[in-house]
């Protein structure tokens, strides 16, 4: 789904630091000759002590998802928007996005390599200071799937949040492997992530002895935080669930990373 800047602003993503002078700084990495062109969104004058690795929805890097990242950053974070496809792949529609996301989801080794390299790039960049103990990850839809996979392989993070992401995996977390605290925000009526998938995820997390929370929002389907989502019964914006989800994210990161 694409994001509308004006509608996001109306989604109650209320800034915790309204005076922040946010700027966008390109931040790329390369794997096997392919450049992945992400964006670091940060307060130029006083960077936040809390950093977030953000994987956008299946549309990848576009202006709408960058606008979303800026609004998240205004809540008191430095946000690194990750390019999971490569700089030459910028989906223009759902069909292209499905093909790009499917290629990544269908190859877990490739997914793990890209998202882990992105994390290392955030840690090693010199634009803003980063406290390794205060890095979290968030993802939306496809991005939620990616950040959960990052946690499954034992990556140490302060926390990871999935917004209406897919929960299935072909490589379940092994016992005592997950080092990140997890917050999974799920639409209770999401047809793309049905009850069987949710139940399997819960069983996986119990077996892994992970520290996890799963919140189900009533009257909510897929993409409930996306103001442009308008496919009734399938993918649709729910302003109440969106507002509550972002507040839960803030509370979760305040617990795991401390105050801004």
Q: Which residues lie across from 213 on neighbouring strands?
A: 183
In this structure, are residues 229 and 237 in contact, taking their beta carbons and an 8 Å threshold?
Answer: yes
Query: What pLDDT sits at residue 228?
Result: 87
Q: Which of 183, 185, 205, 151 is nearest to 254 (CA)?
A: 183
In this structure, are residues 24 and 68 in contact, taking their beta carbons and an 8 Å threshold?
Answer: no
In whole angstroms, give the CA distance from residue 11 to residue 26. Answer: 26
- Model pTM score: 0.92
> Which residues of the chain register pLDDT less than 70?
1-20
CATH node for 5-257 = 3.40.50.1820
- C-beta atoms surrounding 219 within 10 Å: 12
- C-beta atoms surrounding 207 within 10 Å: 12
In whole angstroms, give the CA distance from residue 177 to residue 190. Answer: 28
Sequence-distant (≥ 6) Cβ neighbours of residue 177 within 8 angstroms: 152, 153, 154, 208
Digit-coded pLDDT (tens) for 139-163: 999 999 999 999 999 999 999 999 9
What is the torsional sign of CA 236, 158, 176, 212?
Answer: negative
Radius of gyration of the chain (CA): 17
């Amino acid at each position: 789904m694409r994001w509308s800047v004006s509608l996001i602003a109306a989604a109650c993503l209320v800034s915790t630091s309204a005076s922040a002078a946010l700027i966008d700084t390109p931040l790329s990495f390369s794997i096997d000759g392919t450049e992945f062109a992400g964006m670091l969104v940060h307060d130029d004058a006083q960077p936040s002590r809390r950093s977030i690795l953000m994987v956008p929805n299946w549309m990848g890097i576009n202006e709408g998802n960058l606008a979303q990242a800026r609004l998240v950053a205004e809540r008191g974070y430095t946000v690194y928007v990750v390019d999971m496809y490569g700089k030459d792949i910028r989906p223009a529609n759902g069909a292209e996005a499905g093909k790009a996301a499917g290629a990544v989801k269908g190859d877990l080794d490739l997914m793990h390599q890209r998202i882990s390299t992105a994390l290392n790039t955030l840690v090693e960049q010199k634009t803003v200071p980063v406290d390794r103990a205060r890095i979290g990850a968030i993802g939306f839809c496809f991005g939620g799937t990616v950040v959960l996979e990052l946690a499954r392989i034992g990556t140490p993070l302060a926390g990871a949040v999935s917004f209406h992401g897919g929960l299935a995996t072909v490589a379940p977390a092994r016992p005592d492997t997950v080092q990140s605290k997890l917050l999974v925000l799920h639409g209770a009526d999401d047809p793309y992530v049905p009850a069987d998938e949710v139940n399997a995820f819960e069983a996986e997390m119990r077996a892994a002895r992970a520290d996890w929370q799963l919140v189900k929002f009533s009257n909510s389907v897929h993409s409930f935080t996306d103001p442009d989502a308008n496919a009734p019964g399938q993918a649709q914006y729910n302003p109440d669930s969106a507002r509550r989800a972002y507040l839960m994210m803030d509370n979760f990161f305040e617990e795991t990373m401390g105050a801004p």
